[in-house]
Structure 1
Amino acid sequence: MSGRKRERIQAARSSPTKPRTRRSCSSSRRRSAPLDGRGGRRPAAELAVHEERSSRSGAIVLVLALCGTAVSLMQTVVVPLLPDFPRLLGTSPDNASWLVTVTLLTSAVTTPIMSRLADMHGKRRMILVSLGALLCGSLLGASSDSLALLILARLLQGFAPALIPIGISTMRDELPPDKIGGAVALMSATLGIGGAVGLPLSGVIYAAFGWHAVFWASVVMSVGMLVLVLAVVPESGVTTPGRFDWWGAILISTALTSLLLGISKGGAWGWTSQWTLLSFTVAALAFALWAPWELRAGEPLVDLRTSARRPVLLTNIASLLAGFIMFNYLLVATQQLQLPVETGVGSGLGVTEAGLVMLPGGVLMVLMAPVSASVTRRFGARITLTAGLSVAGVGYVVRVLLDGSVAELVIGISIVSVGVAMSFASMPVLIMQSVPIGETAAANGLNTVVRSIGTSSCSATVAAVLTAGAITGGTHPTETALHAMSWLAAAAAFMGAAVGLLIPARTPPGAARTAGRDERLPVTRGDDVRRAQVGTEVVVRGRAECADGRPARLAIVSVHSAGGQQVDWARADNVGRWSVVLPAEGEHLVVCSAEGWAPQAELLELSSDTTTLLQLDEQLMVAGDVSRSGRPIEDALVVLTDAAGESMGATRTNAAGHYELRLPPLGRYVLTALDPPTRTAQSRDVVISAQRRCFDFVLSEPPE
């Protein structure tokens, strides 16, 4: 260890943060720890904590699943009322449609923001905020008779869907590992369950008690959920406080609002109208500003570098397609069931009857939750996603071939429901496997938003296709138009399954167990296996610095148990701060890497009450020798330029003809050497990679 490095560590040790002493991996004090990374059998106290968490897990899952179902109802609860709202409120059908549109827009905007706030300030707190907004919106809707107040009420209710990704992240923090898979599957299924239950439920309430009663029912439901969350759901100890990215939130809100507004209202405004084109233009500009801002932000609202990782990116693409196919069967099947028999394609059912026909699909989603979890445990979430989307695609093909009766429609709807439930159950697992623990709510929130873009696109597509295929001189779609939507959904499902196959395969957790490990504590990650927690997890924070004292901006910190299993990872912010979540304090292998620096690996004692200092000592350089006829050339000028001709650095050789330049981003460059006394110069194309950074020059003899 250099004297400068020792001084820096001693200075950091004497600071208020009191970082622990670091030990090199090559230290003679290093010892081999058992696979659990904690020295053998767990103490009885930890087993007691594990049993306590198991005993209360059922109540937590039940409450969060009920909350998820309740907020999912908000997206469809007013749909049966839309045909009557123009008469009840004295307005036009286009104005009444804002009662659905405004909830969609609010949900898309608030979900990523509230999910990030949940990671920072507490998940239970943000769940209560969601339910509080739902309660306020329901009270306002139940006590108002004007369109403007109802739109405001629906706007407040749009805060509620953020509860679903936050609830999934809460389950990861609070449940024993063996319960997480089934719980996440059930919570994901609530998106479809709420849609299937909301239609018949609101229709029955409206028919019996009037439209105000629908909102009063929501008031009762909101109060009940608030009481249950306060009584049952604990606040997660896994938080990563920091500075909230307000500019990122403003830009993403503008972008999503404009995009979804254009998609949802494009059919009514006209796809080439000035308002539709303006919405898409504003969305494109906002996204163009938001992406570079997030890449530069030290603590971004959405970590685009993580989101661009292949497993996360492909999962989000599959989620977009899954959102499309899920909403397709809700919209198209409901319309087909309610169309008059005289059209030749409808069943002539009322709103309530049609909703009851859709109800078996919602029930199947609930029943598929443990099945999906079992498939994920045995084969991995990637297989569950691919199988689910494939089953949904088959279901849509069946719907085209069998739609002559209500019973045949139920068969097709049921198959699609099974596929949607399986695919929805796998997506949060794939996301949580690929992002830092401290970002699970934000990452699942983004995944939910992507799904909502898929549902909005489906709504616009259904309206366009069914309108274009309407019976001449009428308003009812033809059988060809209905089949076209089923074929589109089938194509989207099979395309999503193909995307799922491209997601990198991971070893199923059951196969990753080792004989020496306690089988009661299964792992929850695939190849980069994360140790499952038995007690309260701890958040460990630290700083990453370069040898010259500058922060190691965007450094990657990966923490492993002494047995080699990855526990968590993090990306440092612009000032080098990082945090990880560990099952317990203790000795861990910490690997730190940053662009332009050699990676550092050390065996450290990590604790929640200290700030761990990681220092990168060796800066990577582009280096080589300049010579002529076997003799080194001293004081030769060496210049590195990029493909556009911009200089990336210049230096001169030493007495041994050796040069060194700071390593630029990897890629193709032009390297030039000049011997000023003889005016001899030479250039060469070089490709700088992680393996090749050394380039020698042999200059030719000067002309006579």
Structure 2
Amino acid sequence: MERDAMTDESVAQKTSPVRAYLEIGAVGLGALMASLTQTLVIPVLPVISKDIGASTTQTQWLLTSTLLVAAVSVPVVGRFADMVGRRLMLVFSLGALALGSLIDALTTDTTLMIVGRALTGLSAASIPLGISLLAAVLPVDRRSSATALISAMLGIGSALGLPLAGLLADNVDYHVLFWIGAVGAVLSLVAILALVGEPRHTSTRSVDLPGIALLTSGLVCLVLPLSQGGTWGWGSLRTIGLLVAAVVLLALLVRVESRSAAPVVNVRALANPPIAMTNVASLFFGFALFASFVGTANYVQAPAATGYGFGSSVLTAGLCLLPSGLLMLLLAPVTAKLSTLWGAGRVLFLAGLIVAAGLITRILFVDSLWQIVVGTAIIGAGSGIGYATLPTLINTYTPATDLAAANGINALARSLGSTLASAVGGSILASMTMALGGFEIPSLKAYRVLFVICAVAAVAAALLGLIASRTKVPQEHIQPVVETV
């Protein structure tokens, strides 16, 4: 096993700079496509619904089906990657993205479109899989920057998806959005097969069927009411019952996995303080970023008569988020260098404070559109730094045989944060309204309350990063980082 690890490491160190860049580009394209598909359809959902004759419930399932499959697949696919190969499972995830996008690009049938969207949910595992794969095949000096870039793609894709969808929706048929996902996924898949090798995997664990069953059912019971609670009613028996079931099932999962010799979720590793704090911080960052995106898109499109809105188009609303996405892209390599100099925990602390500062800007300055753009850009900068730092902490304290699964859990935490932000944000905006032209419109106070909650979440993430930076961990948790896969 040691000889195999040394062989992999030797191959990685002999990789030329050009080859390394091509490998990062191949994996990065797949990560970007996976992230884009999560947001590209949001601005055009009303158009899709009208074209295919979907009911309100069916339209909601175009989003919910993706969220459910993503929540379940990320940790499960990550564990299989540690068992059978990271590149293999990355290719599987991107293949599902290509197939699902192709189905949606060619159909106007509601059921088939929901199936296609569900398949694309499998691609959510592409980002953590890409991180763990590059951590194994790249030279040591390339790993930190590659990890930061691939991780930041989750936010970059979300920030770029809205303006791209707004631009295309006004000029071409919405099916083009699905073609972008299909073609991009195929290009990334082919490039990965041609350029990126499959590192040796040393795990011989058996499939943990009880763990997979409990994890799947628990996450479904958690994500479903969070995504549908606004429609069902937060006090309805169905919503409360599923949330209670989620708590019971996930608690049972912890009990079963703590006794399993080959757990799908390594609860002992997750209980390691730096790992636990990083995952909680990930949830907070996911919450703050997504709520900011949703708040900005809806905010600037609100009529000027509200006293705060600008009556902007979908395209303008998306363009307000564009600087945020560009800053995420530009700051990813800088973040890797800062993590090396200061330590990832301290950089995470800085990121949380920057996000909070951006949210405070959004609360205080509301007179001009440029103020909204500046505030959102600051939030994007902090989120980009935070997203790029989180996997560095995970990789530092995780044994090499668990890297893919650990990064999958971390990506799941960010995704759950986004889902929670959608639920909480939607409830706040729906409950604090003003009457305008016979309609109920979210008030300025509603947005400010949402941004205050996000700022508190960002500060909490910052404090967790600071605590993690001061946490002493056993030496055996630090050594097997990414160099011994």
Q: Same fold (TM over 0.5)?
A: yes
Aligned letter for 1:502? I
2:449 maps to a residue whose letter is: A
Going from structure 1 to structure 2, the CA distance change for 1:48 and 1:238 (only over 3 Å counts) comes to closer
Q: Quote the residue 1:356 is aligned against.
A: 319
Q: CA deviation at 1:365?
A: 0.3
Cα deviation code 1:221-258 (max 9, x no counterpart):
22211211111221122441320111111110100011
Aligned equivalent of 2:221, options 243, 258, 262: 258
The counterpart of 1:494, out of the listed 442, 453, 459, is 459
How far, CA to CA, are the matches of 2:295 and 2:11 in structure 1?
51
Q: Secondary structure at the match of 2:239?
A: helix
Alpha-carbon shift at residue 407 of structure 1 (Å): 0.6
Amino acid at match of 1:235: E
* Residue in structure 2 matched with residue 641 of structure 1 by the alignment: none
Do structure 1's residue 81 and structure 2's residue 44 form an aligned pair?
A: yes
Identify unmatched segments of 5+ residues in structure 1.
1-16, 21-37, 39-45, 508-525, 529-557, 560-565, 570-579, 584-704
* Cα distance in 1 for residues equivalent to 2:474 and 2:295: 41
Is residue 29–residue 184 contact of structure 2 (8 Å, CA) maintained in 1?
Answer: no
- The reply on whether 1:483 has 2:395 as its aligned counterpart is no
Choose the corresponding residue for 1:406, options 364, 369, 384.
Answer: 369
Contact 1:83 1:93 in 2 (8 A): no
Q: Distance in 2 between matches of 1:66 and 1:200?
A: 18
Q: Secondary structure at the match of 1:287?
A: helix
Matches for 1:550-565 after TM superposition, within 5 Å: 558=476
**Aligned with 1:104: secondary structure?**
helix
The answer on 1:232 being equivalent to 2:144 is: no
For residue 315 of structure 1, what is the aligned residue in structure 2? 278
Q: How does 1:33-432 map to 2 (within 5 A)?
A: 50-432=13-395
The question of whether the paired residues in 2 share the 8 Å contact of 1:54 and 1:175 is answered with: no
Q: Distance in 1 between matches of 2:96 and 2:67?
A: 15
- Structure 2 stretches lacking a partner, 5+ long: none
Contact 2:155 2:387 in 1 (8 A): no
Residue type of the partner of 1:112?
P
- Give the secondary-structure state (helix, strand or coil) at the position aligned to 2:179: helix
**Secondary structure in 1 aligned to 2:243?**
helix
Q: Structure 2 CA distance, aligned partners of 1:139 and 1:87?
A: 20
Q: Does 1:567 align with 2:458?
A: no
Match of 1:474 among 413, 426, 439: 439
Give the superposition deviation at 1:47: 7.8
Tell me which amino acid in the other structure corresponds to 1:488: I
Higher relative contact order (CA 8 A, sep 6+): 2
SS of residue in 1 equivalent to 2:479: strand
Structure 1 pair 134/378, CA: closer, same or farther in 2 (3 Å)? same
Q: Is the 8 A contact 1:115 1:442 kept in 2?
A: yes
In 2, distance between residues paired with 1:503 and 1:173?
Answer: 24
How far apart are 1:361 and its partner, in Å?
0.6
Matched residues, percent identical? 35
**Is contact 1:438-1:581 (8 Å) kept?**
no
- Give the Cα–Cα distance (whole angstroms) in 1 for the partners of residues 331 and 467 of structure 2: 24
Instruction: From the superposition, tell whether residues 227 and 437 of structure 1 become closer, same or farther in structure 2 (CA, over 3 Å).
Output: same
Counterpart-to-counterpart distance in 2, 1:309 and 1:53: 36
Alpha-carbon distance in structure 2 between the residues aligned to 1:53 and 1:169: 20
Q: Equivalents in 1 of 2:156, 2:263: separation in Å?
A: 33
Over residues 55-96 of structure 1, what are the superposed CA-to-partner deviations in whole Å (9 max), with x where a residue is unaligned? 421111111111111100111111011122332222332320
Contact 2:274 / 2:471 at 8 angstroms: preserved in 1? Answer: no
The one-letter code sitting in structure 2 at the alignment partner of 1:116 is R
Corresponding residue SS for 1:403: coil
What is the alpha-carbon root mean square deviation over aligned residues? 2.4
Q: Say whether the 8 Å CA contact 1:324–1:454 is kept in structure 2.
A: yes
Contact 1:121 1:239 in 2 (8 A): no
Q: Deviations over 1:606-651 (max 9, x none)?
A: xxxxxxxxxxxxxxxxxxxxxxxxxxxxxxxxxxxxxxxxxxxxxx
1:24 corresponds in structure 2 to none
User: Residues 380 and 506 of structure 1 are in contact (CA less than 8 Å); yes or no, is this contact kept in structure 2?
Assistant: no
- SS of 2:129's partner is helix
Query: C-alpha distance in 1, partners of 2:29/2:92?
Result: 16
Q: Which structure shows the bigger proportion of residues in helix conformation?
A: 2
Tell me the residue number matched to 2:470. 505
Asked whether the 8 Å contact 2:84–2:201 carries over to 1, the reply is no
Pairing of 1:601-612 with structure 2 (within 5 A): none
Q: In 2 relative to 1, CA 475–232 (structure 1 residues): closer, same or farther, beyond 3 Å? A: farther
Residues of 2 paired with 1:318 and 1:410: CA distance? 25
Letter in 2 for 1:361: S
Deviation, 1:197, is: 1.0
Q: CA deviation at 1:316?
A: 0.9
* Aligned residue identity for 2:460: M
Give the number of the structure whose alpha-carbon radius of gyration is greater. 1
- Give the aligned length: 481
> Residue 476 of structure 1 aligns to a residue in which SS?
strand
Distance 1:175 1:49 in 2: 5
SS state of the match for residue 46, structure 2? coil
Report the Cα offset of residue 53 of structure 1.
4.7
Question: Secondary structure of the residue that 1:286 maps to in structure 2?
Answer: helix
- 1:519 is aligned to none
8 Å CA contact 1:469, 1:477 repeated in 2: yes
Q: Distance in 2 between matches of 1:376 and 1:581?
A: 17
Alpha-carbon distance between aligned partners in 2 of 1:239 and 1:207, rounded to the nearest angstrom: 51
Aligned partner of residue 159 in structure 1, secondary structure:
helix
Distance in 1 of aligned mates of 2:235 and 2:67: 22
Q: What residue in structure 2 maps to residue 451 of structure 1? A: 414
What displacement does 1:467 show?
0.8
Task: Describe the SS at the equivalent of 1:83.
Answer: helix
Matches of 1:281 and 1:341, distance apart in 2: 42
Give the TM-score taking structure 2 as reference length: 0.94
Distance 1:471 1:182, change over 3 A: same
Q: 1:345 to 1:239 in 2, by over 3 A?
A: farther
Cα separation, partners in 2 of 1:75 and 1:230, compared to 1, 3 Å: same
Deviation at 1:527, TM superposition (A): 8.3
Alignment-mate amino acid for residue 192 of structure 1: G
